[in-house]
Structure 1
Amino acid sequence: MKPIHILLVEDNESDILLTMDALEEGRISNKVSVIKDGNEAIDFLMQSGKYAEKNLPDLIDT
C-alpha cells in the first residue's frame, strides 16, 4: 500500500506527540506534516509562501 501524506493541524505539543506515537505504534509509515496554526494550514493548502513547493496532503487531521 502506498504511504499517504497526512497534514496534522495542532497547536498542542502533547497532542502532536500522542498522535505521532500512535502512528508509530500502529506501524503506520506515512509522511506527516505538522502545522501549529490555522493561517499556516491555509498557506500550506494554497501552496503559498514557504509552502509553495510542498505537495498537498491526502488526509487532514485537526
Structure 2
Amino acid sequence: MRMRRKIIYGVGIFFAIWAVLIGVISFLEWRDNTKFERNMTKIDKMVEDREKELANLPDSV
C-alpha cells in the first residue's frame, strides 16, 4: 500500500511539473508573438508615413 501511494504521488508530481512547464513555455511564446506584432505595427506605421511623405513630393526633381 505504501509503495502504491508513492507511485501515485510520483506520477501526480510528474504531471504537475509537466503542466507547469507547458504553461510557462506557452506564455513565453505568446509574449514573444505579441512583441513581434507590436513591432510590426510600428514598422507598418513608419512605412505608411514614409509613403505619404513621398507622395507629397513634387514630381519634377
Q: TM-score, normalised by structure 1?
A: 0.26
Greater fraction strand:
1
Task: Flag the structure with larger Rg.
Answer: 2
| Higher RCO (C-alpha under 8 Å, 6+ residues apart) | 1
TM-score normalized by structure 2?
A: 0.26
